[in-house]
Amino acid sequence: MSRCPDHLFERFQELFPTMDTENPAPPEASAGAENEADTAEPPPPPPPPPPCRKTEFAKVGYDLDAIVEPHQIEEAAKLLDDEGFAIDMITAVDWPDAEQFELVYDFMHFEAGTRVCVRTRIPRDRPEIATLSFIFPGANWHERETAEFFGIQFTGHPNPIHLLLPDDFEGYPLRKDFKPPSDPLLKP
């Protein structure tokens, strides 16, 4: 049995409607093909997941999984705040091949025991998104940590200073293409 309140699921469906997966864009025609047998087109990509879906807590650790556009993250956070949720964690996943970062926001409701995961993707070459620290003050240090380790800027953050790494640290250690700076003390 799902611990996710149906009204919360319906509210997310209302605010963040599903994408049109019925009519995907037609595949591009291959130009200059001499032999059609040699130019077999790859299968179409799978349809994107629905923007909001109920999940089995026992399998994934949360009750509702919502995917929103970056400009919708504040609206999603306000909805969860209005429902009595607290922010539990913010982190990111680096997808260099897709040239994106996926931000993952975990929320929990202490009384109901309900957990909600909200995800959004931002471009890797312009990694910025609005802060949630004005809605959830506890987001402050999660955003600072994510900024330090991934290089994502949280616009409007009240105190975007280093949290864990030294001020002179170079690079973002949780990016998949991170190369540690050379340290003469570590050389044999």
Spell out the domains of the chain, with CATH numbers in brackets.
6-13+48-155 (3.30.460.80)
- Structure confidence at residue 112 (pLDDT): 87
First to last CA, the chain: 58
Residue range 115-125: average pLDDT? 95
Q: Find the range with the poorest average confidence among 61-65, 102-106, 141-145.
A: 61-65
**Res. 56 pLDDT band, cuts 50 70 90:** confident
Among candidate residues 116, 115, 118, 113, the one with its CA nearest the CA of residue 129: 118
Phi, psi at 112, each rounded to 5°: -85, -20
Query: If you ran DSSP here, which 8-state letter would residue 98 be given?
Result: G
Burial 10-22 (b: 16+ CB within 10 A, else e): ebbeeebeeeeee
Q: What is the pLDDT of residues 90-109, one digit of tens each?
A: 999 999 999 999 999 999 99
The per-residue pLDDT for 28 is 42
Task: With beta carbons less than 8 A apart as the criterion, state whether 104 and 91 touch.
Answer: yes
Q: Which value, to the nearest 10 degrees, does the dihedral of the CA atoms of residues 150, 155, 73, 126 take?
A: -50
Instruction: Tell me the torsion sign for CA atoms 15, 18, 23, 29.
Output: positive
Mean predicted confidence (pLDDT) in 146-167: 93
